[in-house]
A and B are shown apart, each in its own frame.
Chain A
Amino acid sequence: MIQPHRFKSVLLTAAAVAVLAAVVGLVTRGPADPVVPEAPQSLRLPSGRVVPVHAVSTDRHGQLDVPDSPRSAGWWRGGSRVGDPSGKTLLAAHVDSPRLRLGPFAELYDARPGLQLVLRSAGLRQDFRVRSVGVIRRESLTARPDLYSPSGTRQLVLVTCAPPYDPTHGGYQNLVVLVASPDGPATPTATR
């Protein structure tokens, strides 16, 4: 059994070790340290247009609750964050709206290989390069976990609606899917 004075000394030693570890941590902290993943907050498209990003969920039927404005994108909160070492970050935005007309994600239709995308969170930035652009059926996302899963190769996936357009059957029938690969790991931004 530990005597009271011995117990006090153990506590003091533990506190001293903790303080020392914190100081060493502050001094040696650098880009090589693992980053703490954060929810994405903005995306810079190849054109230079910056789109704010909001975390979104799915409804009971599995439909993503994309922001109403085509000038904002929704990030599926079940996917990877900025700074996660693997998995997909899925962002979706409306291609158009009655009031704002065509939105920034219409740019996906005309993307080229190698163009740069910049994903930012509160304190992190990760650069990506466009690898592919494809078209899938709107309802087929369930069968494509490779486009939203938080596991697997680290990728940024952007989706928006695509023709054909049939207003009597829910509007656009397809999705444009842009896949981009990271240039490197996420890095802290200067403001951190």
Chain B
Amino acid sequence: MQTLLPRFAAAALLLSVAQISLAGAPPGLPDNAAGSVSGTVTLVQAVPGGAVDVRVDGRELHRVAHLGDVIGPVRLPAGRHALAFVGSGGSVARATVWLRPGSSVDVVLHRPAGTRGASVVTSFPTPTRPIRAGWARIMVAATASLVPADVRVDDRVVFANIANGESVTVDVKAGRHLVALVPTGQPAPAVLGPLKVSVAAGTVTMVYAAGGPPTGAPRAIVHTIALGSRGGAAPGSVHTGTVGLARDLPVRVFGP
């Protein structure tokens, strides 16, 4: 764990800057009250040992994100956004994201392919295209220090020789599935998993491999997003805040 902090600090010297372009969005789109020109960003911290602060457009979104933390989804206006992961030593890993209206993207701070080198930032657009009833989607991304690996879902190779920063998406029937990364061309032993992933119909589940040598075996970071369609059902929940500015405000409670 401790060895990772100096490594992450080295990122400051290199100032790892990732330019991420999600095509289709012109810059400077205004915020829109009707909600048609915004998207969501989810930030994933996949670097062991390095506690980082997360900033969006120069403002602090989250303090002290550790390995495995999934922050968001955060709704942002469509257009260009500057994201930064700031380490305790002042190291910075940056990314620029072009957010398309209605789109969703994961921005992942992760280890490079090798066991040395600065942390990198990669964006993974959420695969939100329509899905048939009763099915779910699984995306697996190689975001750990790994030997050359194949992605296996339910013992079937869905991506051979995946590289660091690459991902693969498969549609599966809702239910429980096994996800594993195995050395390329070999059925076993897995370098990650096999993970039992339970997926609900109409959802997309992202599986990120995180860490890896020299800080132990890779682990998985998993999160799920609904592939929503608008309807008229009774409201079950309301998500009406994004940045925590009201976290310390007291509420004056009264009445019946």
Contacts and interface: CB of A to CB of B under 8 A. Distances in A.
Do A and B bind?
Answer: yes
Contacts of A111: 252
B171 interface: no
A141 B243 contact: no
A30 interface: no
A59 B239 contact: no
Residue in B71, B231, B240, B256 with the greatest tally of chain A CB atoms within 10 Å: B240
A52 B71 CA distance: 30
A102 B71 CA distance: 20
A109 B255 contact: no
A65 interface: yes
Contacts of B228: 59-61, 63
A68 B70 contact: no
Interface string B209-253: 000000000000000001011111111111111111111111111
A101 B244 CA distance: 10
A176 interface: yes
Nearest to B63: A167
A78 B244 contact: no
A64 B238 contact: yes
A59 B229 contact: yes
A161 B241 CA distance: 6
A111 B250 CA distance: 11
Contact of B246 (A65, A163, A167): A163
Contacts of B244: 96, 165, 167, 171-172
Contact of A68 (B38, B233, B245, B246): B38
B241 A141 contact: no
Residue in A71, A76, A96, A139 with the greatest tally of chain B CB atoms within 10 Å: A96
A148 B234 CA distance: 8
Contacts of B57: 98-99
Interface string B193-217: 0000000001000000000000000
Contact of B74 (A58, A98, A135): A98
Given A59-B228, A167-B71, A68 B240 contact: no
A113 interface: yes
B238 A168 contact: no
Contact of A134 (B233, B239, B253): B253
B107 to A, nearest CB: 14
B241 A96 contact: yes
Nearest to A92: B238
Contacts of A134: 253, 255
16 contacts: A54-B35, A57-B232, A61-B228, A64-B238, A66-B238, A68-B31, A68-B35, A72-B33, A72-B34, A78-B235, A98-B56, A98-B57, A133-B254, A141-B236, A142-B234, A165-B244
Given A138-B239, A139-B237, A171-B241, 4 more contacts: A96-B242, A98-B76, A102-B245, A131-B255
Interface of A: 52, 54, 56-69, 71-72, 76-78, 90, 92-102, 105-106, 109-113, 131-135, 138-139, 141-142, 145, 148, 159-165, 167-168, 170-172, 175-176, 179
Sort A-B residue pairs by CB-CB distance and give the 9 closest, nearest first.
Answer: A132-B255, A62-B236, A161-B241, A72-B33, A59-B228, A165-B247, A165-B244, A96-B245, A142-B236
